[in-house]
């Protein structure tokens, strides 16, 4: 379900949604087949035109849907979603066809784009795959051109994150290993 807090993010500022290195959720759809997986290895690649990278292992069903459709979304999940994020990263839809229902993952769509987005996240980037068969096969590395981006205005507005004044539940997750994450911490400023 879409929420009233969702605001569009200009594509030139989309890299800031990933600059702090959050664990993301990768979603994709081909026909009626949809899937979502967790990914720690996602990164901004270029400012304008906005591009991102994500590593999608060959064992994942989500990767198959990305290859079939040519599109994926990266979303930044938050502490309120920690158990779902870990489940989406440990269960494969290849093994558990009802994965999304079992993980209680609700999806919504924005702007007529046929790329499913995960409700309750704090930022979303819809990406079109820039085909690089060598990188995809050899390094499992996918490059996407960001075609639309949104954020939850309670934590991101005017091109900046405002985690310091937000509820703990809205803080981004940063994966370590074995089900352990850090939450984004306090803001500190370097001297100009
Ligand atoms: C926090 C977390 C981060 C992960 N990061 C990645 C990643 O960057 N790339 C990857 O291929 N798999 C990653 N995984 C593993 C996939 O999310 C996992 O294989 C998932 O079950 C695939 O689901 P699917 O087959 O339904 O697509 C991660 C798992 C967790 C828990």
pLDDT tens-digit map of 76-123? 999 999 999 999 999 999 999 999 999 999 999 999 999 999 999 999
Whole-number Å distance, alpha carbon 101 to ligand 1 midpoint, is 17
Q: Where are the beta strands (DSSP E) in the chain?
A: 6-8, 24-30, 33-39, 42-46, 51-55, 71-76, 107-108, 117-118, 123-129, 141-152, 156-157, 160-161, 173-177, 180-183
The position carrying tokens 């820039």 is 130
Q: Where are the beta strands (DSSP E) in 40-81?
A: 42-46, 51-55, 71-76
| Pick from 133, 177, 171: nearest CA to 155 | 171
Tell me the best of 29, 37, 87 to mutate to test the pocket of ligand 1, counting ligand atoms within 8 Å of each CB and taking the most.
37
Q: What is the mean pLDDT of the chain?
A: 97
Task: Output the pTM of the full model.
Answer: 0.98
pLDDT of residue 192: 86
pLDDT for 56 beyond 90: yes
Structural contact between residues 117 and 45, judged by C-beta atoms closer than 8 angstroms: no
pLDDT tens-digit map of 20-33? 999 999 999 999 99
Instruction: Tell me if 40 CB under 6 Å of ligand 1.
Output: yes
pLDDT tens-digit map of 132-185? 999 999 999 999 999 999 999 999 999 999 999 899 999 999 999 999 999 999
pLDDT of residue 2: 61
Instruction: Tell me if 61 CB under 6 Å of ligand 1.
Output: yes
**What is the spatial distance between Cα 77 and Cα 117, in angstroms, rounded to a whole number?**
11
pLDDT for 70 beyond 80: yes
3 pLDDT band, cuts 50/70/90, is confident
Tell me the best of 89, 95, 96 to mutate to test the pocket of ligand 1, counting ligand atoms within 8 Å of each CB and taking the most.
89
Q: Which atom of ligand 1 is nearest to the CA of 37?
A: 17
Whole-number Å distance, alpha carbon 149 to ligand 1 midpoint, is 22
φ/ψ of 152, rounded to 5, equals -85, 115
4 pLDDT band, cuts 50/70/90, is confident
DSSP 79-116: GGGHHHHHHHTT--TTT-TTHHHHTT--EE--TT--S-
Instruction: Tell me if 51 CB under 6 Å of ligand 1.
Output: no
Instruction: Tell me if 175 CB under 6 Å of ligand 1.
Output: yes
């Amino acid at each position: 379900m879409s929420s009233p807090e969702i605001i569009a993010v200009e594509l030139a500022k989309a890299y800031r949604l990933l600059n702090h290195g959050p664990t993301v959720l990768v979603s994709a759809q081909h026909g009626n087949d949809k899937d979502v997986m967790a990914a720690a290895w996602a990164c901004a690649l270029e400012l304008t035109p906005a591009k991102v990278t994500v590593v999608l292992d060959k064992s994942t069903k989500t990767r198959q849907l990305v290859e079939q459709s040519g599109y994926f979304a990266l979303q930044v999940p938050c502490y309120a979603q920690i158990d779902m994020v870990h489940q989406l990263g440990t269960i494969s839809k290849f093994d558990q066809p009802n994965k999304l229902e079992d993980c209680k993952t609700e999806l919504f769509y924005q702007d007529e784009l046929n790329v499913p987005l995960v409700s309750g996240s704090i930022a979303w980037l819809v990406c079109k795959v820039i085909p690089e068969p060598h990188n995809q096969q050899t390094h499992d590395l996918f490059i996407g051109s960001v075609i639309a981006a949104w954020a939850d205005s309670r934590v991101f507005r005017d091109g900046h994150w405002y985690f310091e004044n937000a509820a703990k539940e809205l803080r981004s997750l940063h994966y370590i290993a074995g089900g352990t994450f850090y939450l984004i911490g306090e803001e500190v400023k370097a001297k100009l």
